[in-house]
Amino acid sequence: MGNNLILDEVNKILDKHLELKGLRKTQERYAIVKEIYSFDHHFDADELYTQMIKKKYRVSRATIYNTLDLLVSLELVSRHVFKENTSKYEKSFGFRQHDHIILENDEIIEFCDPRIQSIKNTLEEMFDVKIKNHSLYFFGEKNKK
């Protein structure tokens, strides 16, 4: 699915939720979504806020945090707390499940390993459950050359 198609789908999901909850469809919310889905990396709320201000959007930090919380609840954005209680976010709709290696220099390496899917399938069968998603973080450092 292309980025524009993904963004269209995300906006439809957001529209439906806002209508259902009787919340306003503000220009700022949609601008925040567009900015998030333009990122190709993990980001924190401050980086998102800075980007929005650079692009001349009039948004408050509270709007950023509230919109992030809303998008996380809709599973359109994923929140990660890798270390020191600092939240990092990433777009999640239309993107496959993956895991992370967090390095001491704050580099984040994403990876997919089919063996993890196999473990998930085994756990579902063993405990008669349906696993919706998972988080797997490895913390490490780059090998010195």
Q: Provide the residue range defining the domain that includes 110.
A: 99-140
Q: For residues 78 and 94, what is the distance between their CA atoms, to the nearest angstrom?
A: 12
Q: Are residues 40 and 87 in the same domain?
A: yes
Give the global pTM: 0.84
Confidence class for position 1, pLDDT limits 50, 70, 90? low
Q: Are residues 28 and 86 in the same domain?
A: yes
Segment among 21-25, 32-36, 140-144 with least mean pLDDT: 140-144
Tens digit of each residue's pLDDT (9 = 90 or more) over 30-72: 999 999 999 999 999 999 999 999 999 999 999 999 999 999 9
Domain count, the chain: 2
Judged on CB neighbours under 10 Å (0-12, 13-18, 19+), 60 is: exposed
Query: What is the share, in percent, of the chain residues with pLDDT greater than 70?
Result: 99
Domain of 84: which CATH number? 1.10.10.10
Q: What number of other Cβ atoms are within 10 A of residue 23's Cβ?
A: 12
Q: Are residues 61 and 20 in the same domain?
A: yes
Helices (H), the chain: 3-21, 27-38, 45-54, 61-73, 114-127
